[in-house]
Structure formats: C-alpha cells, structure tokens
Amino acid sequence: MIYPNPNRGVKIIQKNLITYADAWSFQEKLFEEIVQIKLENRNKEKPLATPNYLIFCEHTPVYTLGKSGSLDNLLLSSDELEMHGIEFYKTNRGGDITLHAPGQLIMYPLLDLENFFTDIHLYLRNLEEAVILTLNEFGISAGRFPGYTGVWIDSDNERARKICAMGVRCSRWVSMHGIALNINNDLSLFDHIVPCGIKDKDVTSMQRELGKSIDFEAVTRTLAKHFASVFHAEFV
C-alpha cells in the first residue's frame, strides 16, 4: 500500500566518524521508532505520519558480512584482524562482505517506504541512480553491472570495477543499512577480503579514478541532493 497522505519529508542526520556498532545501534533505534508508529496507527482513525531519516557517516575500519554472504570471503583470521586494527561484524543486511573505513561515505536511509513506494527492486535502483548522478557531477561516468547491485565503472567491459557497494534490509516496509561510496579511502584494505564475494572484479574510488583527493563534504551534499530528487523527497 501507499499512504493516502504520505510523508516525504526526510531528516538528515550527520554522524561523521563513528564505529559500525554504534551506527547499527542507532539505526535500530530509529527503525523501531518508525515500526512502533506504524503498529500504533493500525488502531487509529487518524494515523500519525511516520518519519524518515537519512544518516551520513564514515566508519572506523571494519569488515561486515551480509546474511547471504560467505565467511570464506574474509581472508584474515581473528588474530590478523586484531593485528590490523580492523573489526568484523556479521549483519542482518543483504549482500556479502565489504569494507568500511575512513574516507568512504556511508549513507543509511531509514525510510518508511510506504511513504514513497513499496518495491524493493525500485528502491535499490533508485539508490544506485542517486550515486550514478553524483559521480557524473564529479566527472566520473558510472553505471550498473548486470546481475549485481551497486555502482560500477566500465561496467560494459572486462575492466569493470566497483565504486559503490550496497546492502539493505527491509521489514514492514521500513529500510535499514544502505550504501558505501569509495571516495578517498585506503583501497588496500580490500585485499583482505573477496569484496562482495566477487573474485574477478576490482574495487576503485573517486580518488583513484580522478587522480586526486576529493572534497568529501561536497560529495555528501551532492549525494543528498540527488537522493532527494530521485525519491521525490524534501529535507526537513
């Protein structure tokens, strides 16, 4: 269903550098808030509008494994993880293993999709589109790679390389988790995993593609702008 009077207002929350555990806990809190309102609305003649949130942050170094991923794609032992100063979490999002680290932009939409549309495939494609439009503004031609989620460079040939990973969870039409866009992060940390479980494709960043350090805040603002455009949302 779609609400008769949907709330397309979205509140941006900037968390800057935060541990993955703290961000996950914060997401869970917002998720439960939205779900609780939806449950209470079942018995109300005039239901309350459900809120929507968009979290931007960076994470301290961490590998996260989605519920459909394989632990074999983590190439370090627990002792080696500790030696490198990298955390590891199994998560309840979709997708396989990926890296989060400083210099990578994380965007977590906590949306009641009934305010927008009830179509997970469209939700994923819209997230990709916001990233593609953002990269285009910075002079990077990006697109989709058939059969895979995320955003890619040279997706139509053997040099295909991933610049943005995605992994989401949706329950009661409320979304969690989101995307990780490589901007200025250390790509060597991907050497310790099989990124997204894809063995024969490289990972890249905006910095590598453009040969210079990128203004992180400018990318954040641009991605927020295109998110609002693609989702027909308004920031509040």
In the residue annotation, 170 being an active-site residue is answered as no
Output the pTM of the full model: 0.95
Confidence band of 199 (pLDDT split at 50, 70, 90): confident
Count of residues making up the chain? 236
Domain of residue 128: give its range.
9-235
Handedness of CA 186, 162, 54, 219 (dihedral sign): positive
Residue 71, domain CATH: 3.30.930.10
In a domain, 3, yes or no: no
Confidence band of 155 (pLDDT split at 50, 70, 90): confident
In a domain, 1, yes or no: no
- What was the pLDDT predicted at 1? 61
In a domain, 51, yes or no: yes
DSSP for 81-148, written as a single string: HHHHT-EEEE-SSSS-EEEE-TTEEEEEEE-BGGGT-S-HHHHHHHHHHHHHHHHHHTT--EE--TT-
In a domain, 4, yes or no: no
- Residue type present at position 3: Y
Overall domain count for the chain: 1
Range of lowest pLDDT (51-55, 138-142, 198-202)? 198-202
In a domain, 40, yes or no: yes
Tokens of 131: 């990233």
Query: What would the pLDDT profile of 20-56 be if each residue is shown by its tens digit?
Result: 999 999 999 999 999 999 999 988 888 899 999 999 9
In a domain, 107, yes or no: yes
Give me the mean pLDDT over the 119-133 stretch. 97
Measured distance CA(208)–CA(52) in Å, rounded: 34
Please give the helix or strand (H or E) that residue 80 lies within, else none: helix 78-84
In a domain, 123, yes or no: yes
